[in-house]
Each structure stands twice: as C-alpha cells, then as structure tokens.
Amino acid sequence: MLITIEGIDGSGKTSVWRMLRQEFPGFVFTREPTDSDFGRYVKAEIGKSRNPFFDLFLFMADHALHVRNVIEPAIREGKIVVCDRYIDSRIAYQGSALENTLDDPYEWIKKLHSWSRFPDITLLLDLSPEKAIERCGERASRMKFENVEFLKKVRDAYLRMAGEEERFVVISADRSLDDVFRDVKKTVTGVLSRNS
C-alpha cells in the first residue's frame, strides 16, 4: 500500500512524516525529491531554475527512478510505504506554474504520470498560504515557491484534486502539530484495519 503526504510548503507535512516514522517503524519511509544522489542534484538545480518545464521533467526523472528502485520493490514485498510528496506535488506546483502556458496543465501532468503507481491514500495537510509562510519564518525567504499568490494556486489545485478523487483525506493543518498528528494517525490506523 502507498500512502502519500501532500500540502503546500509550511503545512507541516515533513514533521508529520517524521512522527509517523517513529510511530510505525515497520513501514518504508521515503520522499520526493528523493534522498538519492540524483534527488539531491534535482533539489539543487530546481533552486536555480526559472523554467517550469525543466522543473517538471527533473522531478519526473527522479520520480521514475524512485518508483522503480524504491516504491515498487517495497510494495511487491507487501510493505506499507509512506511518501512525503509524490505525483500530486507535480500536478499542484508545476501545474500552477504552467497555468498561463498550457490549456489544462494539471490534467496534462496527471496524464504524463499514467505509467506510474498512484497512491492508495493521500493525506492532504491543508493550510492557508499566509499562515504557511508565517510558519516558515526566516526559511520562507530561501524557499523557491514562497509567494502567497502562487501558493494559493497550489492550494486550490490540491483541494480540487481532493474534491475529485476518493483517495484524498483532507486534514486541517491550522492546529497544533499534536492535534494534526492525532488525526493523521487515526486515518492511517483506520486504513490499516480496513485492509487487514
């Protein structure tokens, strides 16, 4: 089973992912961009890039290796995989960046991933961009996508997907991390008991 965690920067998803790792040590924990050499290269290049197509295809190349080398082998072994960012990050972020360039970039990016493994459950940590940026504090000035207008588009794209696809569980991130984590844990345990 593949569980993904999504949300705009500052939504607290990486903290939740780390807390889940403590709680469920038997699961496989991974993320995109990946921690591989190529993933680190992608992260560095994305920081410098001013081109959303370049970003999209670099993230996708990292994703292709990730699916083949990590996700699929773990799922074949019957493991539960929890991934911090995945395909939906491309749809939401690069889709928003390409909004004025293509007719329906969101759908186009989704189709570009049709060969891939889609998640079974996606936990969407939802927060307003204003709050998210406030939370990032000094880190916000170093973030590539720190702009409120852009993050609003990204959030809307996420919420649109959540309205269309059953695999999404929207969790309000406008609360203490402990409260958010309680809901996340409840959702994950519920999913596990339904699938056992």
Q: Considering beta carbons, is residue 143 or 192 the nearer one to ligand TMP?
A: 143
Tell which one of 6, 30, 32, 188 touches ligand TMP (CB under 6 A). Answer: 32
Residue 77: phi, psi to the nearest 5? -80, 5
Question: Minimum distance between the CB of residue 187 and ligand TMP, rounded to whole angstroms?
Answer: 20
DSSP strand pairing (121-126 vs 2-6):
parallel
Asked if 144 touches ligand TMP (CB under 6 A), the answer is: yes
Tell me which of 66, 85, 153, 155 binds ligand TMP, using CB under 6 A: 85
Which residue in this structure is represented by tokens 């990590």?
70
**Residue 90 interacts with ligand TMP (CB under 6 A): yes or no:** yes
Q: Which stretch binds ligand TMP (CB under 6 A): 83-91, 130-138, 156-164, 186-194?
A: 83-91
* Cα 92 from Cα 110, distance rounded (Å): 10
CA dist., res. 194 & res. 196, Å (int): 6
CA distance 32 to 69: 13
Nearer to ligand TMP among residue 128 and residue 192 (C-beta) = 128
**81 phi/psi in degrees, rounded to 5:** -105, 130
- Tell whether the torsion through CA atoms of 182, 184, 188 and 190 is positive or negative: positive
Nearer to ligand TMP, 59 or 181 (CB): 59
Q: Which stretch binds ligand TMP (CB under 6 A): 64-72, 85-93, 108-116, 170-178?
A: 85-93
Show the site string, 53-82: x = touches ligand TMP by CB under 6 A, - = not: ------x-----------------------
What is the nearest approach in angstroms of ligand TMP to the Cβ of residue 196? Answer: 30
Specify whether the CB–CB gap between 54 and 74 falls below 8 A. no
- Tokens 């916000």 sit on residue: 140
CA distance 178 to 46: 32
Question: Contact residues for ligand TMP (CB under 6 A)?
Answer: 9, 32-33, 59, 85, 89-90, 93-94, 144-145
